[in-house]
Structure formats: C-alpha cells, structure tokens
Structure 1
Amino acid sequence: MIVEDAPYMRETIEMMLDTERYEVVGTAVNGREAVKKYKELKPDLVTMDLVMEEMDGIRATKEIKRYDPHALILVISALGTSKYIDEAMEAGAGEYLWKPFTVENLFEVFERLLGTEEKPKPGLESKFLSSLEGSRDKVEIVTYLHGIYPNISDSADISKHTNTDQATVLRELQGMGSRSDKSNSLYSVWGSWIK
C-alpha cells in the first residue's frame, strides 16, 4: 500500500511497484486514510510519506503498529535529518528511504523488509571481525568502514539499540547506495557488536 499526499509521487511509486514482483493493493493520501485502509487491506508492506495533512506519517505509523505490531512500514521522505529518522524508527518503521530514489533503491529496501534479499556469502563476517579486532574507537571504525566500503546501505531498527553513540554510527552507515555481499556482511557484523 502506498501512502503519499503528492499525486505525482504516489503515481510514480505505484508505477515502479506495479510489476511482476509486486502488486499495489491500495493507496492513501493521508495518515488517517492509511490507518483505515491498512485495517481493510492488510497489505504485506506500506510505503509511508511523513508530511501529510490530517495525520502525518509518524502518527500513522504508530497507529498501524499499534493495530498490527508485525506491520512492515517503509518511510519514504525528503526529510533526511536524524531527527526524522529517529522519530520514524521509534514509531515502528522498518526502513527509511530518502527522496529522490531509484527503482533499484526501492526494490533493495523492499527485499530487505520482506526478507527476500540474497544472504551474504559464508565466511565474510569472520574475515571482517578479524580485520577489525582490537579496534575500540568508534570514529576509527566508521572512518575505516566509509573508506573501504562507501556503498554500505541499511536502515537498522535504531530504536532497538540503547547506546546513542552507536545509533549515531548506524545512521552514518545507512542510505549510502547499493549493497554488496561485503557491505551487507560488514553491516550485520557491526549490528551484532552493538546489540
């Protein structure tokens, strides 16, 4: 289901998704309509804009998650500051995608949320762990990761992580382009360090 108040963007997302891989079961133009339609349609995944009249995307996400704690919600917005990312994740969004985006970006995020992405090759995680072993300084680790793997992209559920510094590092790693097996594995290693 697509939740977007701008007609052009709503139609664009619908065209991107209306393929053999996915079916758009409904659309909504504001958060209030999104909550109502979610209960009626029970879609596998919801794309949610943040800034809308009547009810914004953060509140709609909270309402949907209250109704269905297992709902998969992808926030799609031009608001890319950490404040909005934090609010979206705390509300229950599983991912955050910045506008503008490509069809490939959208499909990558859908695959992650739906659990249909390719898994990393075995053995890569231990290689990354051993290469970073003994490095305690978070800034050093982030610099290392950015220098070697500039295409890391993931939107972890930051609300599950209790250490604010580590959540900040996670935000630095997300939304930076396509994922490769190496960056996927590296990100999962980094995530395992902070749980």
Structure 2
Amino acid sequence: MAKIMLVDDAAFMRMMIKNALSASGYTDFVEAQDGAEAVKKYEEEKPDMVIMDITMPNMDGLQALKKIREIDPNARVVMCTAMGQESMVVDAIQSGAKDFVVKPFDAKRIVQTVGDILGK
C-alpha cells in the first residue's frame, strides 16, 4: 500500500485528510506540521506521494515543494490551498506539483486525486 505524507500546520486538517483516505483503504501515513519538517521526513520516509498545505510557518509549502523536488525530481506532490490563492497554485504547478485541491475540500475529491496520482 502507498505511503502518503500529510503536511499541514493544522492537526485537524491532517486528521480530516487521513480519515477520508483511511475510509478508502489507505493505511500508511507520515505527518509533518510545516515545510521544514516535511523536507526532512521526505528524505527519511520516501513517501509515494505528499499532500501539502501552501500556507505554513517556518517554511511554506511552495518552498518545501521546491526542496522536495530537488531531492526527488519525480516526487508526487499535491498542494492544498484556500480559496483566493490562485497565483500560488500556478506557482506550485510550475514548480512541479502534480495537482491541487481547494479547502474546504470534499473527501471524494481528495480520494480521487490520490487515486489518479498513484494510478489506482
């Protein structure tokens, strides 16, 4: 089963994503609460994909995305963004993000996006 890293400074957002994915059979998760921790854990854990918030303290999601892509040019990263952050989404896609989901998100959309990226 795929290992998925969830990166968000809000623990309840990580829990919501984990619950949605767990209900669809995903069981292997790694969590990080900011971009700096995400980069470190990406190197240690080598997850199959990352779902990452854009706006976080210490290192934002865009900076973390760029660092993760330096470590692994094939990294599969999906960015989470709040409404009204369209310019950040464009930046994320240009920096190598595979897709994005808008918060508040629909659980089905998260599951579908993960399935599409992991080829399930």
Alignment TM-score, normalising by the size of structure 2: 0.89
Q: Flag as ranges the 4+ runs of structure 1 deviating above 6 A.
A: none
The 3 A distance-change label for structure 1 pair 20 and 109 is closer
User: Which structure has more strand as a fraction of its residues?
Assistant: 2
SS of alignment partner, residue 66 of structure 1: helix
**1:110-129 deviations in whole A, cap 9, x for unaligned?**
1111122xxxxxxxxxxxxx
Instruction: Compute the RMSD of aligned alpha carbons.
Output: 1.4
SS of alignment partner, residue 26 of structure 1: strand
Q: Give 1:47-126 correspondences, 5 Å limit.
A: 47-116=51-120
The percent identity for this pair of structures is 38
**Which amino acid in 2 is paired with 1:32?**
A
The 2-side partners of 1:13 and 1:23 are apart by 12
**Which amino acid in 2 is paired with 1:11?**
M
The 2-side partners of 1:33 and 1:70 are apart by 19
Aligned partners of 2:78 and 2:101 also within 8 Å: yes
Look up the match of 2:20.
16
Look up the match of 2:10.
6
Displacement of 1:86 in angstroms is 1.0
Q: Which has the larger radius of gyration?
A: 1
The 2-side partners of 1:24 and 1:59 are apart by 25
User: Which structure has more helix as a fraction of its residues?
Assistant: 1
The 1-side partners of 2:88 and 2:79 are apart by 10
Query: Which residues of structure 1 form unaligned runs of 5+?
Result: 117-195
